[in-house]
Amino acid sequence: MQLHFQHSSLDLSTARVMGVLNVTPDSFSDGGLYVAHESAVEHALAMIEDGADIVDVGGESTRPGAEPVSESEELDRVIGVIEALRRETVVPISIDTSKPAVMRAAVAAGAAMVNDVCALKNSDVSSLAALDVPVCLMHMQGEPRTMQKQPRYDDVVAEVRDYLRRRAQDCEMAGIPAERIVLDPGFGFGKDLQHNLALLKNLDKLVACGYPVLVGLSRKSLIPAIMASAGRTSRARDRVGGSVTLALYAVRQGAHIVRVHDVRETVEGLTIQRSLDND
């Protein structure tokens, strides 16, 4: 399986790492956008050095409870970073946004892929098809501000799979070829611990749909939730071991791309897992 960008492609027969690059003022506490841009580019280059295969640039926090960001603020955050990164690296850049105008401007600035936690529900898919870039369609129940209040499913695995399969079909009808579609169950997006665990243990059922599968488990609250259910506490800043363990498990279940904050540690884990599988 391959993921085709406009100027390159990624062989997905081994798992690939997408490094998370948040360009939000709160992740760079100095305040100013110039400083945020400089540190974002520096951080992206460090992730590439550590083995990131894709850099996912996001200007809107989609954490539970986060407030929405205006289109012009989001553009101000991400476009300069994408342009600067494109001058420094050939590693494909993905744009993490749900706003069609941001997708367009990001691709014009050099982004090679669109990652939308709303699965292109806010977009006119036929006009986005013309951008000719891969898209990641993610499942979410509800909206970021309220999604963790009361998530409910009869059969979370079947519902998420059916939703994503339908969205993928809609996108194909609107002109996005199947080879440019990636599916993501959306861990933590309107899911409680039991839902997240059921999706992870049954990830093979999503993989069986035939599209590449991307997962984002890195530093998410299911890690302290699992620790708490085992009678242990975990520190807010101390989720690296859990994140790597979850990424390796997801890859064993067939995930093709893992979206992570801790690129070096994840690449180390994946490299060791692969060498154990191969000998």
Pick between residue 61 and residue 89 the one whose CB is nearest to ligand YH5: 61
Query: Is there a catalytic annotation at residue 121?
Result: no
Residue 220 found at the interface with ligand YH5 (CB under 6 A)? yes
Stretch that binds ligand YH5, among 6-14, 166-174, 201-209, 215-223 (CB under 6 A): 215-223
- Residues 198, 156: contact at Cβ < 8 Å? yes
Query: Taking the CB of residue 122, how many other CB atoms lie within 10 A of it?
Result: 12
Touching ligand YH5, residues 1-60 (CB under 6 A): none
Stretch that binds ligand YH5, among 6-14, 201-209, 211-219, 227-235 (CB under 6 A): 211-219
Pick between residue 88 and residue 168 the one whose CB is nearest to ligand YH5: 168
How far apart (Å, rounded) are the C-alpha atoms in residues 70 and 82? 18
Structure token digits, residue 186: 């959306």
Which segments of the chain are extended strands (E)? 2-4, 9-11, 16-22, 54-58, 93-96, 113-116, 135-138, 181-184, 214-216, 257-260
Q: Which of 155, 112, 154, 157 is nearest to 131 (CA)?
A: 112
Least distance in angstroms from the C-beta of 275 to ligand YH5: 27
Q: Catalytic pick from 99, 161, 239, 259? A: 259
Least distance in angstroms from the C-beta of 46 to ligand YH5: 18
Rule CB under 6 A: which residues touch ligand YH5? Answer: 62-63, 96, 115, 117, 136, 138, 184, 186-188, 214, 216, 219-221, 259
